[in-house]
Structure 1
């Protein structure tokens, strides 16, 4: 039996997850936020489910039959050590498997504006691959291709401010 007012958020303690979680919770939904074990930040909405990874059996019973999973785990900051494939693609595969095991029929994914199969940039390639995994999953899906997301506490503004101060 589908829990019509319950949604699950991966990346619940990230910038997007925190803000969407608060909004969805404020609008009457029961929000289950999956947070990585060992993370310092806790969520301020709904209920946190602490997990080492998305393959844990204990997750399935906690989120079973939720109406949707909002998949906000992702890596966007590029460094020489960027692990786009692991974070953006492999984690999406794990999320799809989790949805199927927990009988969650809908996934909502934040991708990136500019994602295209012809891209030559690692971030966009990984996001494209993640999108393809979702499309071929058989789940009902919504893929949002967002540009830079800014707001109170966003990582982009903090980085830009730091870079500007270094130049002054």
Structure 2
């Protein structure tokens, strides 16, 4: 029997796909802010609320930890630093205290200690905690991840229902299928992949092309206009369309 794998953010997009892949082969322990939803999705697996994470470690004694927790937007007083640095540190402390064999972490492509974006900066400092922890680890830096349940699909569907056209920022991305991300995490658990790994798909496209692709998959016919980042600044300042200044700072090419 393989050692247990503890997955945080278990109700999230990537974790939901990962759990389906891992549960065939590994005993899983799931941690989430939404335990009832996770229990409904993954019946029969042990599920703990994030506030009971210490209990999960003490009772289940996982051999591997996969951290998929992250936020794209600060809401409800929860900051990027709380999630990407503070939560990661807490998870590392528990992992070291309980003798976890390997720590696998979902970061983001484009992280930097010098980024003007606090999202990318906080992701970097979370990575630094892992690199200095002494634990065996794999850090994954994906570009935009595509697949069933991804937030971009929900956002574009909502906007397309009320607007006759969509505006896309001028930037390049190299989207990666969620199946590729899940495969990489699987092999990281298997100890075949370690260190820091960038994850991208096989083709560089514009954000306009990505929006058009997603809209086609949703069966929604909308015109997409590409605009320079600077033209979106007023919308970010006013909070129009769900865009804020922090998200505005995140608009930049995102390719491996």
Match of 1:47 in 2: 45
1:22 aligns with 2:33: no
Match of 2:28 in 1: 31
- Shift of the alpha carbon at 1:49? 2.6
The whole-number CA distance in structure 1 between the counterparts of 2:79 and 2:44 is 30
- Shift of the alpha carbon at 1:166? 2.6
Match of 1:62 in 2: 59
TM-score norm. by structure 2 comes to 0.58
1:96 aligns with 2:92: yes
TM-score norm. by structure 1 comes to 0.85
1:139 aligns with 2:145: no
The whole-number CA distance in structure 2 between the counterparts of 1:40 and 1:51 is 9
Structure number with the higher helix fraction is 2
Match of 1:11 in 2: 9
1:152 aligns with 2:148: yes
Task: Return closer, same or farther for 1:158/1:8 CA change in 2, 3 Å cut-off.
Answer: same
Unmatched tracts of structure 2, length 5 or more: 165-256
1:86 aligns with 2:72: no
Secondary structure at 1:50 match in 2: strand
Task: Return closer, same or farther for 1:122/1:46 CA change in 2, 3 Å cut-off.
Answer: farther
Task: Return closer, same or farther for 1:5/1:44 CA change in 2, 3 Å cut-off.
Answer: same
- Shift of the alpha carbon at 1:120? 0.8
Superimposed CA distance per residue, residues 117-156 of structure 1 (whole angstroms, 9 cap, x where no aligned partner): 2211011011001000111111111000011112111112
Match of 1:107 in 2: 103
Counterparts of residues 122-137 of structure 1 (less than 5 Å) = 122-137=118-133
Unmatched tracts of structure 1, length 5 or more: none
Secondary structure at 1:47 match in 2: coil
| Equivalenced residues, count | 162
